[in-house]
Structures are given as C-alpha cells and as structure tokens.
C-alpha cells in the first residue's frame, strides 16, 4: 500500500489498476453504503454568476480507520471531523477526482442507485473540466445534480440558480 504523505508515491490513474482486487472491492462496497458523490453549489462573490459549482466525493464514518485506508489507497483527499464527532474523508480537487476517483470507481463499480449517482457525477465532472461554463452547460450540470442522491438536501435549488444566473437561457431549459 502506498503512503499518502509522500507526493511521489501518490497513485496516478494507471496505479489504480495496481490496487489489490480484494482491497478495491472492500473500499467500493464501503463507499456504496457510506459514500456520497456530490456537485456542490456555493455562493461566491468572485464567481462569474455568484455561484461556484464544484465536484466532490466523501465518505463518512465514526471509525477513522477505513477512511485512512481510502486516503492511503487513492493517495488523495483530506480528513476532517464531522459535527457529530465522526470523520469525513473528502476529495474536492477536480484533478484528483478525474485522475483517481473516476478510474477507481470504473475499475471497482458500484451497484444500484449509487452507481447511477456515480454516472451522473462523472458526466458532470466532464463538463466542469471544460472550465468556464456556458448557460447550457450550467443547466446540464444542475440537472445531473438534481437526479443524484435521491434529490438530497440542497441549499441552492436548480430553479433559483438558473433563474438568477442564466437570463438568456430559454425558460423551458431553466425549468429543468
């Protein structure tokens, strides 16, 4: 197993292919129950439209050991304490999600609704990689987000974001 502390040992997408099958299957199964693929919308005063969209993946658990295993195996992400005393391992870097997260879950696929979330998340990441989003791209990413995590909790809803920041987008596209 590689140590996450040494930058030279961090795995590339090619190194994902070298992860032990049993370990990869364990981590994928763990993510099936405790992981979340997210498209996050945060209000940012410096962002072109006032909101900033980003992708993230996290796994939460009271016991830190499995999360350390994720971090060591994928060689990325950060650990933080949750409000309930638990732990979160999260990856917020788009480049790390593209080079490590996506290849990991392509090699060790999920099942059920979490697999659907992953596919929508992966599509959104591909759009976010383009850089500055057109109004149509923004609408597409937000529509993908709406379908993820069974609707999930949203501070910023798609219809409000599109109403406020996509004035030239046709109304039918703003409706989702």
- Please write the tens of the pLDDT for every residue from 123-141: 999 999 998 888 889 889 9
64 vs 42: CA distance, rounded Å? 27
Q: What is the CATH number of domain 7-174?
A: 3.10.28.10
| pLDDT of 13 | 66
76 vs 39: CA distance, rounded Å? 18
| pLDDT of 69 | 96
**Mean pLDDT of the region 54-77:** 95
| pLDDT of 97 | 97
On the question of pLDDT at 36 being above 60, the answer is yes
Residue with tokens 């696929």, as numbered in its chain: 109
- pLDDT classification of 14: cutoffs 50, 70, 90: confident
User: Domain boundaries in the chain?
Assistant: 7-174
Helices 158-165 & 135-146, crossing angle to 10 degrees?
170
């Amino acid at each position: 197993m590689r140590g996450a502390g040494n930058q030279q040992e961090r795995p590339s997408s090619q190194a994902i292919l070298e992860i032990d099958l049993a370990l990869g299957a364990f981590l994928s199964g763990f993510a099936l129950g405790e992981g979340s693929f997210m498209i996050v919308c945060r209000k940012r005063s410096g962002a072109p439209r006032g909101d900033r969209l980003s992708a993230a993946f996290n796994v939460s658990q009271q016991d830190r050991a499995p999360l350390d295993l994720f971090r060591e195996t994928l060689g990325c992400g950060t650990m933080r304490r949750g409000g309930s005393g638990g732990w979160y391992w999260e990856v917020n870097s788009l480049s790390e999600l593209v080079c490590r997260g996506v290849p990991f879950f392509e090699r060790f696929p999920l099942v059920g609704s979490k697999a659907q979330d992953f596919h929508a998340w992966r599509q959104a990441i591909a759009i976010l990689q383009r850089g500055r989003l057109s109004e149509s791209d923004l609408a597409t990413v937000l529509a993908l987000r709406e379908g993820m995590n069974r609707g999930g909790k949203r501070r910023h809803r798609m219809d409000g974001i599109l109403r406020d920041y996509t004035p030239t987008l046709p109304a039918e596209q703003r409706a989702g």
